[in-house]
């Protein structure tokens, strides 16, 4: 169900076409939910049938884009969902799974995995930090649009919550990087020790 509300959330800052939503929901982009166009277009149609969004093909535009916007009903439903208790997803971590079963593999393979882990979160970190800066400088498009449709008294909270969420993700990424780094160092020490012992025999 979250995709539905991720779309509503996006549209609560600005009207947009399915294509624009698709770009934002591409993995690596700034949003907290990812989905492919093949999932987004049908969902938009369902939302339209529900009357939670309304779409109209722009006439001024040569590109036959269909721009969707939240209806009052959609806004209500979004708010209801947002305030509801969260269901945390079950644990599913394929990298951890690999790691604990790598106990029969050569150290270089373990090293490759840890380095890959670090590299993955290095990339994520760059994205999150970039977004954080864009929020602080008020250059993030989504944020600017959201602020524009709200009373100035709310601006601080809007920004603070965005920063809070981003900081959480930044700290997660930093943690994973530090963890992998320490693990790599431990692995190096372990191997040095083993080489020493082999020589000592």
Partner DNA sequence: CTGCCCATGTAAATCGTTACATGATTAC
Partner DNA sequence: GTAATCATGTAACGATTTACATGGGCAG
Give residues in contact with a copy of itself (CB under 8 A).
2, 5-6, 9, 12, 27, 31-34, 78-79, 81-105, 109-110, 112-113, 116-117, 120, 146, 150, 154, 157-158, 160-162, 164-165, 167-169, 171-172, 175-176, 179, 183, 186, 190
3 state SS of 160: helix
3 state SS of 73: helix
Nearest CA among 87, 9, 85 for reference residue 47: 9
9-28 positions binding DNA, by CB under 7 A: 17-20, 22
**Nearest approach, Cβ of residue 134 and a copy of itself (Å):** 14
Rounded CA Rg of the chain? 23
User: How far, in Å, CA of 193 to CA of 127, rounded?
Assistant: 38
The entry of DNA, a copy of itself, none that residue 41 binds, CB within 5 to 8 Å by partner kind: DNA
User: How far, in Å, CA of 156 to CA of 166, rounded?
Assistant: 15
What single-letter DSSP state applies at residue 86?
A: P
Note the residues at the interface with DNA (CB under 7 A): 1-3, 17-20, 22, 34-39, 41-42, 44-45, 61-66, 89-90, 92
């Amino acid at each position: 169900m979250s995709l539905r509300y991720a779309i509503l959330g996006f549209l609560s800052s600005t009207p947009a076409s399915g294509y624009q939503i698709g770009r934002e929901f591409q993995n690596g982009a700034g949003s907290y939910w990812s989905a492919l166009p093949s999932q987004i277009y049908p969902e938009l149609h369902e939302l339209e049938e529900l009357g939670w969004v309304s779409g109209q093909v722009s006439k001024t535009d040569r590109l036959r884009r269909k721009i969707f916007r939240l209806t009052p009903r959609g806004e209500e439903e979004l708010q209801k969902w947002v305030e509801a208790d969260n269901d945390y997803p079950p644990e599913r971590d394929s990298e951890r799974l690999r790691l604990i079963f790598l106990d029969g593999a050569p150290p270089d393979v373990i090293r490759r995995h840890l380095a890959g882990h670090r590299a993955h979160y290095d990339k994520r970190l760059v994205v999150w930090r970039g977004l954080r800066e864009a929020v602080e400088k008020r250059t993030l498009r989504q944020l600017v649009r959201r602020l524009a449709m709200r009373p100035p008294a709310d601006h601080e909270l809007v920004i603070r919550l965005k920063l809070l969420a981003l900081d959480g993700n930044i700290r997660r990424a930093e943690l994973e990087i530090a963890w992998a780094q320490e693990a790599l160092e431990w692995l190096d020490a372990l191997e040095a020790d083993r080489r020493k012992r082999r020589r000592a025999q």
